[in-house]
C-alpha cells in the first residue's frame, strides 16, 4: 500500500471517529476544502503537508480521548423518581 493510501486510510478513520466533515478537515489541515476528495481520487500531498495532517490528527485524537475521560469521571445524576399526586 502506498504512503498516500495509508495516509488516506488514517484520515478516513479519523473522520469517522471525530465526526468531522472531510471539507472541514481539509480546511483545518491544509486550507484546502477539497483535500480529502482529491486524495480519494488518487491525488498526493507533499511530505510537509502529510506531517501537518498527521500532527493535527494526533492532537485532535488526544483531545477527544481527554474529553471522553472527563465524561467518565463525572458522577452520574441520581435517577428521577415519579411522585404520586
More confident residue, 33 or 2: 33
Encode pLDDT of 46-84 as tens digits. Answer: 999 999 999 999 999 999 999 888 888 876 656 666 666
- Which pLDDT value is given to residue 70? 86
51 CB neighbour count, 10 Å cutoff: 11
Residues 58, 46, 41: CA angle, nearest 5 degrees: 90
Q: pLDDT tens digit string along 22-54?
A: 999 999 999 999 999 999 999 999 999 999 999
CB–CB of 39/7 below 8 Å? yes
Please calculate the CA angle 67-73-75 and round it to the nearest 5 degrees.
125
Provide the pLDDT for residue 71: 83
Amino acid at each position: 500500500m502506498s504512503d498516500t493510501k495509508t495516509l488516506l486510510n488514517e484520515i478516513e478513520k479519523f473522520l469517522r471517529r471525530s465526526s468531522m466533515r472531510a471539507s472541514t478537515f481539509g480546511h483545518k489541515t491544509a486550507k484546502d476544502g477539497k483535500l480529502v476528495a482529491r486524495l480519494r481520487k488518487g491525488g498526493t500531498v507533499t511530505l510537509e503537508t502529510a506531517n501537518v495532517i498527521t500532527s493535527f490528527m494526533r492532537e485532535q485524537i488526544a483531545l477527544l480521548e481527554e474529553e471522553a475521560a472527563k465524561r467518565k469521571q463525572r458522577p452520574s445524576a441520581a435517577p428521577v423518581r415519579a411522585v404520586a399526586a
